[in-house]
Structure 1
Amino acid sequence: MQEYKDKQELIDEISKRAQLFIDEFSSVTEADKNKLVDDVDRTPAQMIAYQLGWLNLILDWEKQELQGNTVATPHADYKWNNLGGLYDSFYKQYENYSLQDLKSIFGETVQQIINLAESYTDAELFQSGGRKWASSTPANWPIWKWIHINTVAPFKTFRSKIRKWKKQNG
């Protein structure tokens, strides 16, 4: 897994990868946003909804913990062995949005994640135990890994998926 020398490097990478990812949707039409193609497991709209779902989970985990609540990861209604159901909930949540709205919401949500990363001290961000929600699994990851695995990593993976989708969609 990629590592970062400091908070700014993480933030810069999130910003860069988010922009590269969302720019891939510039040639996707509204009429094609829900189109599935062979060998790509999500529609363009679902790809963005997936990203929004995970970004909002991180934001919600933080909000819940700051309110003194016990955070259930990944979600109170979904366990780690039912991620398919969680993903379906993401798609359902965003299914009625236009592609332009999804792209706009994505940009706003990425900015919220960047703001969140900026709010952490280096110790909170890079050492295990920075937040209870980040220590809620046996891996006991520091916050930066949770942010990375739900931003930079899927932005790269899904960028290749949307490129493959565009190639097959003509």
Structure 2
Amino acid sequence: MAIPASREELLFAIATTFDRLMADLAKIPPSRAREATLKGHAAGTLMSPSDLVAYLIGWNELVLKWLDRDDRGESVDFPATGFKWNQLGLLAQKFYADLNAQEWPELLHRFAAAKAQLIATVKARSDDELYGKPWYGKWTKGRMIQFNTSSPYANARIRIRKWLKAQE
């Protein structure tokens, strides 16, 4: 999929990659969702499909937090308070732990809710706000949203499809 360069393209990328991923996630039996057999986000670790969804939720909710703080004129702590960009493996592990108590159906529901909020906030923004000027370093808001939504959705889908195939 091409890199989105407009609000409509970003909305399409988020919706399309999300829908494809959710179709594959729906094939995972809840009884197997906690099996830590996927390569983790930190070197030398393993994660479960539940952890992968927790990771996606964590990033989606983080993007929503960034946008909310920016909308209120507050500073945005990229990537997250207490984490630097070279500590993303630790941040992933925090996301796994934060949602470890949630059951598979609840995780999927929370993931869908976060995606719906992202769609709503993207729809509420103009092309100029999303792509007209840099927001973080050289990256526009639209690109930062895409980096943390449709791109990881596509990556997660590759991981899940490989996992599902290995289960056959």
Both structures adopt the same fold (TM-score exceeding 0.5): yes
* Aligned 8 A contact 1:37 1:169 in 2: no
Tell me the residue number matched to 2:158.
160
Alpha-carbon displacement from aligned partner over 1:58-88 (angstroms, at most 9, x marks no partner): 1001112233321110001111111111101
Q: Deviations over 1:97-132 (max 9, x none)?
A: 111111111111101111111111111111224xxx
Summarize the Cα distance change of 1:49–1:39 in structure 2 as closer, same or farther, 3 Å threshold. closer
Equivalent AA in structure 2 for residue 44 of structure 1: P
Q: For residues 59 and 93 of structure 1, what CA distance do their matches in structure 2 show?
A: 17
Structure 1 stretches of 5 or more lacking a match? none
Percent sequence identity is 25
1:105 aligns with 2:110: yes
Could you say which residue in structure 2 is the equivalent of 1:74?
A: 79
The alignment covers a number of residue pairs equal to 163
SS state of the match for residue 97, structure 1? coil
Normalised TM-score (structure 1): 0.88
**TM-superposition CA deviations, 1:19-49 (whole Å, max 9, x none):** 1111111121222111122657431001111
CA distance in 2 between counterparts of 1:10 and 1:114 reads: 9
Q: Matched residue of 1:141: which SS? A: coil
Q: Is the CA contact 2:38–2:47 (under 8 Å) kept in the aligned structure 1? A: no
Distance in 1 separating the partners of 2:31 and 2:131: 43
Matched, 1:121 2:119: no
The equivalent of 2:60 in structure 1 is 55
The residue number in structure 2 matching 1:4 is 4
Q: 1:121 to 1:39 in 2, by over 3 A?
A: closer
The residue type equivalent to 1:16 in the other structure is T
Distance 2:149 2:72 in 1: 24
Q: Write the mapping of 1:7-46 to structure 2, written as runs, cut at 5 A.
A: 7-37=7-37, 41-46=46-51
Give TM-score scaled by structure 2 length.
0.89
Q: Which deviates the most, 34-43 or 83-92?
A: 34-43
RMSD of Structure 2 on Structure 1 (CA): 1.8
Indicate conservation of the 8 Å contact 1:37/1:168, yes or no. no
**Whole-Å separation in 1 of the counterparts to 2:5 and 2:69:** 28
Q: Which deviates the most, 32-41 or 146-155?
A: 32-41
Q: Which amino acid aligns with 2:59?
A: W
Gaps of 5+ in 2: 41-45
Separation of aligned partners in 1, 2:30 and 2:3: 37
